[in-house]
Amino acid sequence: MKSVFNAAHGAGEVIRGTINDGADKLGEGIASDGKQTGTDDKRQRDLALDGHAPQDHSATVSEGKGQFEQGISSIGNAGQGGSNQPSA
């Protein structure tokens, strides 16, 4: 059961990170009247120069993918009689 929750949590983190990144880009585009044409690195540098803390949503997405894959792997192992619990 824990594996299912890990997979669901990981999927949620991927969705959250993706939505937050899109919302940040949308907000920055509106704030700059749609004139923002730089890369993500340039966008982060510009935000830092303006006194805003840079946000790295890709880390959230990456961690979520890892949790999701681990949960799915554990589910598959449980279905084959395997266990991710140490034997006592």
Pair of tokens at residue 6: 């890990």
Pair of tokens at residue 28: 């920055």
- Region 3-25: mean pLDDT is 90
Supply the pLDDT for residue 88.
45
Give the three-class secondary structure for 22.
Answer: helix
How far is it, in rounded angstroms, from Cα 9 to Cα 5? 6
How far is it, in rounded angstroms, from Cα 57 to Cα 28? 15
Buried b (16+ CB within 10 A) or exposed e, 14-44: beebeeebeebeeeeeeeeeeeeeeeeeebb
Over residues 23-45, the pLDDT tens digits come to: 888 887 777 776 655 666 777 77
Domain boundaries, the chain: 2-79
Supply the pLDDT for residue 87.
47
- Region 37-59: mean pLDDT is 73
